[in-house]
Amino acid sequence: MRPALTKGWRIAAAAFAALSLLLAAACGGNEQNPDGSTVETSGKKGDVTLVIGAYSVAKDAFEVLLPKFQAEWKAKTGQNVVFQESYEASGTQARAIAGGFEADVAVLAMEGDIDKIKKAGLITHDWKKSEPHDGMITRSIAVMGTRKGNPKGIHDWEDLTKDGVKVLYPNPQTSGGAQWDINAMYGAGLKKSEEETGKKDPAYAKAFLERIHRNVESLDKSGRASMAAFEYGVGDVIVTYENELLARIKQGVPYEVIVPKSTILIENPAALVDVNVDKHGTRKVAEAFLDYLYSDEAQRIFADFGFRPVDDKVMSEVASQFKNPPDLFDISYLGGWDYVRKTLYSPKGVWYQVLAGI
């Protein structure tokens, strides 16, 4: 279990992060977070430096989005923006920012990770109310990916419990994507119990999750790490974001996408980190960058990388590229994030009982 951060460690981490930012702005190149994760810097010294702390899945889309915003901001203000970018598993990234990595904007897998930063005192505004769509910039759903031809005959979550089927998904202690995956499977168990008995049965859902977990081949640090392992030849089926598979298929990787009957709507947030933008004097450009992520242009770019846009107009333009599961539910079906964190992911929660076999 990760030890609690001491006050002294936080101060040292913050000082280290600040020094890293200054050196990076002057020299370019790659830097590190206080926890050792990589910070990628781009360009030469500019008029303003904006630090992005993001979850790993966002990286490919941001390689297109950031230059677009740079050009827009330059045309509008005459000012150059230099981005420093860090991409890590969502939980890891949230802990790094809370522990001293001075990101101006956090782009993470789930609202619980943004809340970790808020609870650390670094986000002081109501981030969900201050932005459109409750602060969510993209959507997706939890799906399964198999090798070409679906050799194991995977069609729904129940098939993950079959003998001889090796399953991959990441570790929920580090990966927000893993929590979405587990939420989807646990929720599908609740749906199935509701169909059979007329009410949600948490014991049934836990047993369903246990049956799937018996076939798990490995728990990787992030969704990207699980995908790399799968493409290397590990496992028969991967549980992941729909957008990850669609993006890889577009790049020529031969996945089969299996959309379960019941699955969860994934919503991914972004938030301005108040303490850091005020310290760096970057509030104006950080707010403009967040606004840009909701623009039609940005939403279309997200769609190009397999995300479901949050903007209704853009979603209607690209709806044909997505499959709609018959029984899609959101986090409220599980009781909301506060309840889910307590029930599934607390030290004595359902997930840790499954992991311990109790």
**pLDDT per residue as tens digits for the range 48-72:** 999 999 998 899 999 999 999 999 9
The residue extents of the domains of the chain are 7-123+273-294, 140-266+323-356
pLDDT higher than 80, residue 73: yes
Looking at the chain, the whole-number percentage of residues with pLDDT higher than 70 is 87
- Over range 279-289, report the average pLDDT: 97
Given CATH 3.60.70.12, say whether it is the number of domain 7-123+273-294: no
Backbone angles phi, psi at 242, to 5 degrees: -55, -45
Of 22-26, 85-89, 137-141, 207-211, where does mean pLDDT reach its minimum?
Answer: 22-26
Hey, do 7-123+273-294 and 140-266+323-356 end up sharing a CATH topology, with the first three levels equal?
yes
Domain 140-266+323-356 in CATH: superfamily? Periplasmic binding protein-like II (3.40.190.10)
What would the pLDDT profile of 104-150 be if each residue is shown by its tens digit?
Answer: 999 999 998 999 999 999 999 999 998 889 999 999 999 999 999 99
- Over range 243-254, report the average pLDDT: 93
Q: How confident is the model at residue 192 (pLDDT cuts 50, 70, 90)?
A: very high
Q: What is the per-residue pLDDT for 107?
A: 98
Looking at the chain, the whole-number percentage of residues with pLDDT higher than 90 is 75
Cα–Cα distance list, 172 to 178, 181, 258, 303 (Å): 5, 9, 22, 26
